[in-house]
Amino acid sequence: MIARLRKLYTFSPGVHVLSIGPHQIKQPTILAPMAGVTDRPFRQLCRNLGAGLVVSEMVTSDTRLWNTRKSKLRLNHTGESEPRSVQIAGGDPEMMATAARMNADQGAQIIDINMGCPAKKVCKKAAGSALLKDEQLVQEILAAVVNAVDIPVTLKIRTGWSPEHRNGITIAKIAESEGIQALAVHGRTKACAYKGSVEYDTIAEIKSQLSIPVFANGDIQSPEDAKAVMNYTNADAVMIGRAAQGNPWIFQQINYFLEHNRKLPEPSNAEIKHLLIDHLNALYEFYGEFMGVRIARKHVGWYLQTQPNAKPFRKIFNQLESAETQTEQVLVFFDKLTNGKEIAA
């Protein structure tokens, strides 16, 4: 089904957009790392639907915790397209360096450092965007990681610690001076979390002062948004996060719009049905049926969030306990949708 969508939505392979070390990224759209979302099945799906680069879920720098089932799954990159980018998080330079080396040994081709996550459980450990308050520690972590590996290191940040302390430009300059090879910037501060409007002025200023690639991130929800943000900030690419949930074809749509200045048609219900079934099967295979069924629930919710009368079905779906019944019910839902029949609880 993915092949059918790619054939239907034909766009040229594009020109060389940017480089991260030896890796050429040929489409200016990047899947943001999202814990609990950008697992291997979702990364592969987004890559097949046009993402120029995909970044793994955040992995802790505390390698003592890597023996958990969750960490082992997050560290699994079997069969993924290159380059494989792995995000690490932590607040200790030595531990971050060790985690970077071990990920490189396991096949990572790009190490991405998380200094952008505003989640309390991350920040309370002096990691994620909490690090932006300590510029000296930022410098020490970046230097330690860059010197620990012979593969490119990238960084994700926010515009600053708080609206009153937007030090994103200073952090960006530190990053470039320490050898970071690409920088993603979310247009909010740590204190803003995901509330309020994104501001792109800081991203534009950072881009104007750096020579490394800069990716604009935050509330980019459509091809029109992507073009407007790239024009305003002069960013080399856009990084898409929540807008890809249940909408993985957004990368293809953005690429096409940037190249041709016209929009692709939305995928049909039949196309979405087949794509969703493929995604569910990939989840069951990757996680096993027990976990796959549970993880499938949130993805199905995202796919159906814009479908009419989907709420009763989602309630039923969330109670299903087997891969077979989940698949059957998705097929029934879309068949009713296609045939114009009422979807009842």
Catalytic residue among 46, 117, 123, 192: 117
Q: Is 46 a catalytic residue?
A: no
SS (HEC) of the chain: CHHHHHHHCCCCCCCCCEEECCEEECCCEEECCCCCCCCHHHHHHHHHCCCCEEECCCEECCHHHCCCHHHHHHCCCCCCCCCCEEEEECCCHHHHHHHHHHHHHCCCCEEEEEECCCCHHHHCCCCHHHHHHCHHHHHHHHHHHHHHCCCCEEEEEECCCECCECCHHHHHHHHHHCCCCCEEEECCCCCCCCCCCCCCHHHHHHHHHCCCCEEEECCCCCHHHHHHHHHHHCCCEEEECHHHCCCCCHHHHHHHHHHHCCCCCCCCHHHHHHHHHHHHHHHHHHHCHHHHHHHHHHHHHHHCCCCCCHHHHHHHHCCCCCHHHHHHHHHHHHHHHHHCCCCCC
Active-site residues: which are they?
117
